[in-house]
Structure 1
Amino acid sequence: MGAKIDDAVQKLLGMWESGEMPEMIKHTTIARQKGERPCDSWSLANQILMLLSRTEDARGFRQWQEVGRRVKKGAQAIYISGPLKYTREVIDEETGEKVKRTFIRGFKDIPVFRIEDTEGAPIEDSQPNYAPKEMPPLMDVAEAWGIPVKYAAGDGRSYGAYQSTSDRSFEQIVLRTHDAVTFFHELSHAAHNRIRPLKDGQDPFQEIVAETCAAVLCLLYGYEGYVAQARHYVAHYAKAKPEEATRAVMAALSDIEKVLDMILSTSAAKPQGRTA
């Protein structure tokens, strides 16, 4: 496995150094469907609170009424956190004109109820299935690690996310695109988190590791059209020019190889692409 990983990494770096790469494929996002659950747009903290309450759908009293369901008598609410917003006029620093801006002055507890504590009309149609007809390679790795992979509609913020508590008692991958490279990226975060606990947020080192691993996996599984954008992604987090992205990779090479080895040694799906 080590020789195959080394060959793939060297091929990737050679493409980045020479600039001779396949034409870039643009990311696509999943279009929103009618009836999507409100909790799909909640923060990670609120989603974890919901899942710890042993449900995958929770909504406010009126939100349940809007889909033809009612909260059972005596049902206990669970509480999520929501921002307290206010709007005021400020001076735009660039134009010098007055504009209205929204600010957050704190947070409030919002009561929501589990679907298990409601009754009424079926809501299967309100939970659309966004999964692709054909799953990307390496889905068996997420399954082996007990990580649910969920597809959701695009939210305009990200193409995907690996979500985990510090003790990994809760983990999931959320994908807002069918592009395999995004799944590879988030799966790489999950593997990296098994090597050493990840820092919160988009840590540059962690992003460089995940995106480089995703690009190597794209080569191995025949998705070479994502190699060019990976170079730009790595360069962005390395605060370097695209042609200097390989320097950032060399500094993270040990973790990159460990992540790739963990993923490929776990998977039963053999790579289909070529590394030479």
Structure 2
Amino acid sequence: MKFSPKVKQSLDQVVEKFKNGDLSPITNTVRIRLDPQAPARNWSLSNRVLAYIQAEELDCRGFRQWQKAGRFVQKGSKAVYIIRPHMVKDIDGEADREEYTCIGFYPVPVFPASATKGETPISLYTPAKLPPLMDLAEKLKINVSYTPTIEDRYGDCTTDGTRIRLASFDPSVFFHELAHAIHARIKGKLTAGQNVDQEVVAEFTAAVLTNLYGYEDHSGSSWKYISLYAKDPLLAITKALATVEQVLEYIYSMHDISNMSSIHM
């Protein structure tokens, strides 16, 4: 079977994951919640896995598909590639029916939702009201997008703190991921994966911010979350306090804290 260089490169990424025993791309794509209008809902599982491995999100569409949705691909964005079979009609097929043969595959460039902009929000992705400190994220050039992620995760942040993805409209989730992003700036780069110290810092910071902005008490949920990572939650919080203070000081230095007096119940 003939593959173009771009198709081969995409497939190699999948093979490399599987060689390392990582089957998460398959399980994740099956569990992702997609916009009802997303073309990926009709893709084969193999193409969904291809897109997810390359983009780390699943709602990927072509230029015209995004334009039709009222969105535009940002300049400089890199495409990810799914594959489409190249079918040719059999010359020797029976006269009463058309038969086709697959002679290879060719790449189809698509772009993830996070690479688009537009006045038209992506259905189900954007809350009616953005959470506090979103303007700080913009000021720090942190790319924040509401996009479907796996069901056992409400959000994530890149290790360098430049991109946040949210699958929940709960402000505490944004605060948690923003804390990760700022922690990355202070530390230089976060450790990949669910690092205990990093999770404690992010969750305790989120609890403080949730309280400061007048949202419903979040401390109970934070305690349960931290307990999942630390055998002794109180000790873990005590050890994390110095870093939590650094993260909060960073926020205070970059943002007008007088706005924190407003209640957002």
Whichever residue aligns with residue 151 of structure 1, its letter is Y
TM-score (structure 1 length as normaliser): 0.56
Whether the 8 Å CA contact 2:200–2:237 is kept in 1: the answer is yes
Judging changes above 3 Å, is the alpha-carbon distance between structure 1 residues 193 and 254 closer, same or farther for their aligned structure 2 residues?
same
Report how far residue 125 of structure 1 moved: 8.6
* Distance in 2, Cα, partners of 1:179 & 1:160: 10
* Pairing 1:210-225 to 2, within 5 Å after superposition: 210-225=202-217
Report how far residue 237 of structure 1 moved: 1.1
Aligned equivalent of 1:113: 109
Q: Deviations over 1:219-246 (max 9, x none)?
A: 1011233211101111221123xxxx22
Q: Deviations over 1:86-145 (max 9, x none)?
A: xxxxxxxxxxxxxxxxxxxxxxx9944146xxxxxxxx9994252111111111110111
Aligned equivalent of 2:15: none
Report how far residue 155 of structure 1 moved: 3.3
* Distance in 1, Cα, partners of 2:133 & 2:173: 12
Whether the 8 Å CA contact 1:142–1:187 is kept in 2: the answer is yes
Aligned to 1:234, which of 210, 219, 226?
226
Judging changes above 3 Å, is the alpha-carbon distance between structure 1 residues 158 and 273 closer, same or farther for their aligned structure 2 residues?
same
Aligned equivalent of 2:37: 35
- Displacement over 4 Å in runs of 4+: 39-43, 56-59, 77-82, 124-127
Report how far residue 273 of structure 1 moved: 6.7
- Secondary structure at the aligned position of 2:218 is classed as helix
1:205 paired with 2:191, answer no
Aligned equivalent of 2:55: 47
Report how far residue 251 of structure 1 moved: 0.8
Whether the 8 Å CA contact 1:147–1:172 is kept in 2: the answer is yes
Q: Deviations over 1:172-199 (max 9, x none)?
A: 1111111000000000000000011200
* Distance in 1, Cα, partners of 2:125 & 2:143: 14
Whether the 8 Å CA contact 1:213–1:256 is kept in 2: the answer is yes
Whether the 8 Å CA contact 2:57–2:147 is kept in 1: the answer is no
- Secondary structure at the aligned position of 1:225 is classed as coil
Q: Deviations over 1:154-178 (max 9, x none)?
A: 63131011124x5x6xx21111111
Report how far residue 201 of structure 1 moved: 0.6
- Secondary structure at the aligned position of 1:149 is classed as strand
Whether the 8 Å CA contact 2:57–2:149 is kept in 1: the answer is no
Which segments of 5 or more consecutive residues in structure 1 lack a partner in the other structure?
Answer: 1-29, 51-55, 68-76, 83-108, 116-123
Whether the 8 Å CA contact 1:36–1:127 is kept in 2: the answer is no
* Pairing 1:89-104 to 2, within 5 Å after superposition: none
Aligned equivalent of 1:176: 167
Whether the 8 Å CA contact 1:220–1:271 is kept in 2: the answer is yes
Identity %: 33
Aligned equivalent of 1:139: 134
- Secondary structure at the aligned position of 2:260 is classed as coil
- Secondary structure at the aligned position of 1:271 is classed as helix
Aligned equivalent of 1:162: 157
Q: How many residues align?
A: 186
TM-score (structure 2 length as normaliser): 0.58
Judging changes above 3 Å, is the alpha-carbon distance between structure 1 residues 201 and 224 closer, same or farther for their aligned structure 2 residues?
same
Report how far residue 32 of structure 1 moved: 4.8
